[in-house]
């Protein structure tokens, strides 16, 4: 298995700003990241803990998307549930149904990641700054040689944790952060100052996500602007960053240039946001993504 997405798989119970309860949808950063990878390769695996009830609830989606389920580890009777409430201003609040301790208990350990990612090219990780976890995982990375993308958890993007964040980012191949998180981390209200600070870090690659304004890919060779991929209607932006970041990891490991990596991310995000919950990834979705990539890349070459 070439690629692994490491984070949560949960049931999102969604209530819209209108008050409408639309019920349960499959969610979690790991699910969205896996979807972003699966759009480009069949050789990808989700690594996370789930409940005994997970196959009964979401087995249909897994089967339709051709998911490799060998990295799903049963760790509890119940799969985690996130109660999500949207507000008119676009903000949202998430509350774990069974409590934070249950939610965290389902996360994959470094040992479990190493076991299920053995022989792979790249690992996507959505994680905080847990020191013991990082030390253990980086031991495995040095031994196994996989490329590592870290998408920072928003709770870790704080000025007082700047040194810790930079140290961990320097130990990865790709660091993914959104605009809000970056401005919080660097204690600035200026996007350009945040980008400048990331440029000075000198990392192999930074994927700076700007939502509807696209993205910026930063490498030692320069700063590359990435456009959004066209989408007729945005239904729910949840998971777009996870999906995009994982696609960028795929491009990086396969030798794509910075702009091409960014395009992969934009296209994965555009597929993610067209519905509530993750998209079904089948042969038609993969073919459409590849066609979109070819079209966007050709458009850039003609400019």
Residue 140 in tokens: 């495995």
Q: What is the pLDDT of residue 23?
A: 86
Q: Computed from CA positions of residues 111, 116, 121, 123, in that sequence, does the dihedral angle turn out positive or negative? A: negative
Strand partners, 257: none
Could you tell me the strand order of the sheet in which 81-86 lies?
A: 21-27, 10-15, 81-86, 92-96
Domain 3-7+29-48+110-302 in this protein, CATH class: alpha beta
- pLDDT per position as a tens digit, 259-279: 999 999 999 999 999 999 999
User: Is residue 251 a contact partner of residue 280, using CB atoms and an 8 Å limit?
Assistant: no
CA 151 from centre of chain: 7
User: Is residue 246 a contact partner of residue 225, using CB atoms and an 8 Å limit?
Assistant: no
Low-confidence ranges of the chain (pLDDT < 50): 302-303
Which residue in 2, 12, 34, 27 sits closest to 245, CA to CA? Answer: 34
Helix axes 258-272 and 240-253, enclosed angle (nearest 10): 150
The torsion defined by the Cα of 142, 146, 149 and 154, in degrees rounded to 10, comes to: -50
Q: What is the pLDDT of residue 223?
A: 98
- pLDDT per position as a tens digit, 207-245: 999 999 999 999 999 999 999 999 999 998 889 999 999
Cα distance between residue 68 and residue 203, in whole Å: 32
User: Is residue 273 a contact partner of residue 240, using CB atoms and an 8 Å limit?
Assistant: yes
Phi, psi of 177 (to 5 degrees): -150, 145
Burial of 214 (0-12, 13-18, 19+ CB in 10 A): middle
Q: What is the pLDDT of residue 292?
A: 96
Q: What is the pLDDT of residue 302?
A: 46
């Amino acid at each position: 298995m070439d690629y692994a997405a490491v984070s949560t798989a949960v049931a999102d119970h969604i209530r819209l700003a209108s008050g409408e309860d639309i019920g349960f949808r499959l969610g979690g950063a790991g699910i969205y990241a896996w979807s972003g990878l699966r759009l480009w390769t069949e050789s990808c695996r989700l690594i996370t803990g789930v409940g005994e009830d997970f196959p009964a609830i979401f087995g249909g989606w897994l089967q339709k998307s051709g998911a490799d389920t060998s990295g799903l580890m049963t760790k509890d009777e119940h799969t985690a549930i996130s109660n999500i409430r949207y507000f008119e201003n676009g903000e949202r609040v998430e509350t774990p149904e069974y409590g934070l301790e249950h939610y965290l208990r389902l996360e994959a350990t470094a040992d479990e990641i190493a076991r299920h990612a053995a022989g792979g090219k790249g690992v996507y990780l959505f994680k905080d700054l847990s020191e013991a976890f990082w030390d253990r995982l980086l031991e495995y990375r040095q031994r196994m040689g996989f490329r590592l993308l870290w998408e920072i958890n928003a709770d870790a993007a704080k000025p007082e944790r700047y040194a810790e964040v930079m140290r961990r980012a320097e130990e990865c191949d790709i660091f993914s952060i959104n605009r809000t998180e970056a401005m919080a981390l660097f204690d600035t209200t200026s996007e350009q100052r945040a980008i400048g600070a990331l440029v000075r870090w000198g990392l192999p690659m930074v994927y700076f996500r700007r939502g509807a304004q696209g993205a910026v890919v930063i490498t030692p060779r320069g700063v590359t602007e990435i456009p959004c991929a066209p989408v007729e209607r945005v239904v729910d932006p949840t998971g777009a960053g996870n999906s995009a970041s994982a696609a960028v990891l795929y491009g990086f490991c396969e030798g794509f240039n910075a702009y091409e990596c960014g395009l992969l991310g934009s296209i994965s995000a555009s597929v993610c946001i067209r519905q509530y919950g993750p998209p079904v990834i089948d042969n038609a979705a993969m073919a459409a993504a590849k066609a979109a990539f070819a079209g966007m890349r050709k458009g850039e070459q003609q400019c």
